[in-house]
Amino acid sequence: MCGILAVLGCVDNSQAKRARIIELSRRLRHRGPDWSGIHCHEDCYLAHQRLAIVDPTSGDQPLYNEDKTVVVTVNGEIYNHKQLRQKLSSHQFRTGSDCEVIAHLYEEYGEDFVHMLDGMFAFILLDTRDKSFIAARDAIGITPLYLGWGHDGSTWFASEMKALSDDCESFLSFPPGHIYSSKQGGLRRWYNPPWFSEDVPSTPYDPTVLREIFERSVYKRMMTDVPFGVLLSGGLDSSLVAAVANRYLAKSEAARQWGSQLHTFCIGLKGSPDLKAAKEVADYLGTRHYELYFTVQEGLDALEEVIYHIETYDVTTVRASTPMFLMSRKIKALGVKMVLSGEGSDEIFGGYLYFHKAPNKKEFHEETCRKIKALHLYDCLRANKSTAAWGVEARVPFLDKDFINTAMSIDPEWKMIRPDLGRIEKWVLRNAFDDDKNPYLPKHILYRQKEQFSDGVGYSWIDALKDHANKQVADAMLASAKYIYPENTPTTKEGYLYRTIFEKFFPKNAARATVPGGPSVACSTAKAVEWDAAWSKNPDPSGRAALGVHAAAYQDAVGTKNGPL
């Protein structure tokens, strides 16, 4: 994972402007502490801060075609770069970087090549022959990218908002699955999968197909020339990633360089649900496991720094990003630069506990589509920015394009939560890996109830955040919130606190508009809140807000516990 900044079409191409671009690029150095590069062509600048994962000795950026007329700066990983190089056999490559194929694909196919890339990426490509440029972001938005416009008519792109927010009055989050073309004038969608229409699919469920395509997804993400590991919470998703990586590690190129014992990492408050479950999975798999701890006070002390790095005031994202931010610092201290993580499964399979209340398969499927489309604003943003803050790259196998297309083509009747048939949330995924002859995981881990990361690190973490906000935000402050923050008005003291911190770093209207809003319960979209009338009275994004579903649900109005289904 790297940091990229591009400014195209500046009126000023002086040394002072170059110095300003370099200064802004340094704001992204946490993302890429291994090397810095910049290419200047007349009034166009492409800057890069590199985190070296593949070809660390010769893959410095920007990258070029043979005669250096095409320049590209890339943040991401192209997993099928070797296959693409075979298609480009007539081209001469300068490096072993997986990202160099982008320059040559452009030479060969023009702008219509982005769909050929299998990976996570954001890139800007400049064709110096006519000063045209394109920019693109991966299908789901795993890799962050922002688009802005300067007063001088310049167009800006940056991995994080902090690199362009001071110099652009107007900017936005670059939409996933899109390409920006200076020739064609603006954005167009390059990613158009069947599920995007939200029409209900009818393909029968085949557990073998689902399992095999997920195994391929994990294996391709083990492409690395540096040490790596797995973020292991002990829940279903991260445990499956670890189990599959553990099976395939010995045959990977990474094992030949770094050994065949998988490294796994978990963080939590002492005694948290995740720490206990993760250790059990690690012991079962035989990984070298690192159990990391944080205290509530350490989490509270980090809040401002976390919000600066993740660039959002969304309550769920801040809650979950803080322990991930603290864990990433310790992981980097151990010499690890890349980790596999389990984001995306809950969106694809309806794993959040509120899906228990989905009234029918149509609404179930439509909600999963809405959740996937919004991932770049929530879990992808968290996983990327809270790890990149310390120069660690997070890869997410569940968000592989082929895996998503396969999983989203399944008739959603199979995904519906049916206690009468013994089907809990994500049953289709659990069942696909339920192998008695060659088990991937212990049964009770394979069928463990969903815990959101911010809950699983320790229930007292969220309670402490609320208590902290209550001390910082007076009743009168919250009562006048609609006047202070008329757009996306915070409705809780916790939300108000995060908003004030965010506004300190990012005060412009364009910045606050990059953050989504609306009511939510247990991470639902606003539409799904309508599934249960009681939820509108308890709009909290924690999984424990799924009253009547979570085994440790919040107390209701009369003080009783709402047990599991």
Residues in a beta bridge with 173 = 146
Rounded Cα distance between 185 and 66, Å, is 27
Burial of 511 per CB tally in 10 Å (0-12, 13-18, 19+) = buried
Rounded Cα distance between 521 and 375, Å, is 16
- HSE at residue 243, side-chain half, CA atoms within 13 A, is 25
How many other C-beta atoms are found inside a 10 Å radius of the C-beta of residue 231?
26
Q: List residues with catalytic annotation.
A: 2
Q: What are phi and psi of 354, to 5 degrees?
A: -70, -15
The amino acid present at 31, given as its one-letter code, is R
136: three-class secondary structure by DSSP: strand
Burial of 136 per CB tally in 10 Å (0-12, 13-18, 19+) = buried
138 neighbors 177 (Cβ within 8 angstroms): yes
Q: Is 119 left (phi over 0), alpha (psi -120 to 50) or beta?
A: left
124: nearest Cα among 115, 114, 112, 133? 133
> Which residues belong to the annotated binding site for ATP?
231, 267, 341-342
> Which residues belong to the annotated binding site for L-glutamine?
98
- Dihedral sign, CA of 549, 551, 556, 561? positive
* Tokens of residue 72, six digits: 């590209």
What does each C-alpha distance from 489 to 174, 309, 485, 522 come to in angstroms?
Answer: 24, 22, 5, 19
How many other C-beta atoms are found inside a 10 Å radius of the C-beta of residue 349?
26
* Tokens of residue 120, six digits: 């996570």
Helix (H) or strand (E) holding 8: strand 3-8
Q: What is the b/e burial string over 185-201, where b = at least 16 CB atoms within 10 angstroms of the residue's CB?
A: eebeebbeeebeeeeee
Burial of 102 per CB tally in 10 Å (0-12, 13-18, 19+) = buried
Q: What is the b/e burial string over 403-416, where b = at least 16 CB atoms within 10 angstroms of the residue's CB?
A: bbebbbbbebebbb
> Which residues belong to the annotated binding site?
98, 231, 267, 341-342
Question: Prior bond to 359 cis, omega within 30?
Answer: no
Residues in a beta bridge with 47 = 5, 38
